[in-house]
Amino acid sequence: MSTVNKTLNEISVSYSKKNFYNEKIITSLNLHELIRKIYSSSECIIDFKEYFFIILLNRNNLVIGYNMLSAGGISGTVVDIRIAFAIALKSLATSMVIVHNHPSGNLKPSQQDITITKQFKDAGRIMDIAIIDHIIIADSGYFSFADQGML
């Protein structure tokens, strides 16, 4: 009779409370202010390369936390939606904001930006996690998919 290895991999969730933002997300403007703080605290240079973040919210639109999903190159980054939703589910988030920067300074969403937004929205519908906005930032300002009626 063979011995069965009964060791399983343990999955853990880590949370670090920093208290740098505890306001309710109401508008794209206060969301933009939070995003600038996230990029600054993560030491991400907006005009250097592309970074993709998710911001997780509870039912009252209070920020639970954020996660950098990817850091790419000058003209793009790869995002795995499954990882984003795994993090959202583990944190018990009920909504999410997706965020990335355009190092070029161009705030106009690309076709890839529009496609990834739709993919997030479709996955969120299945998981009952609302995508409340997709923000593109650059040194010159920001673009909100929600403000433009693109969600």
- CATH of residue 99: 3.40.140.10
pLDDT tens sequence across 39-89:
888 888 888 999 999 999 999 999 989 999 999 888 888 999 999 999 999
Domain annotation covers residue 60 = yes
State CA 75 to chain mean position distance. Answer: 18
Mean pLDDT value across residues 3-30: 72
Domain annotation covers residue 150 = no
Pick the residue with more confidence: 42 or 150? Answer: 150
Provide the whole-model pTM: 0.86
Position 45 scores a pLDDT of 87
Domain count, the chain: 1
Name the β-bridge partners of 96: 56, 131
Domain annotation covers residue 57 = yes
Domain annotation covers residue 51 = yes
State phi, psi for 111 to the nearest 5 degrees: -60, -35
Domain annotation covers residue 68 = yes
Indicate whether 137 pLDDT > 80: yes
Residues in the chain, overall count:
151
Q: Which domain holds residue 86?
A: 44-130
Residue 5's pLDDT band (boundaries 50, 70, 90)? low
Domain annotation covers residue 10 = no
Indicate whether 10 pLDDT > 90: no
Mean pLDDT value across residues 17-27: 73
CA angle 77, 78, 79 (to 5 degrees): 120
State phi, psi for 28 to the nearest 5 degrees: -65, -25
The whole-chain average pLDDT of the chain stands at 89
Domain annotation covers residue 19 = no
Domain annotation covers residue 64 = yes
DSSP, collapsed to helix, strand or coil, labels residue 121 as: helix
Mean pLDDT value across residues 17-36: 82
Position 7 scores a pLDDT of 73
pLDDT tens sequence across 82-121:
999 999 999 899 999 999 999 999 999 999 999 999 999 9
Mean pLDDT value across residues 5-14: 69
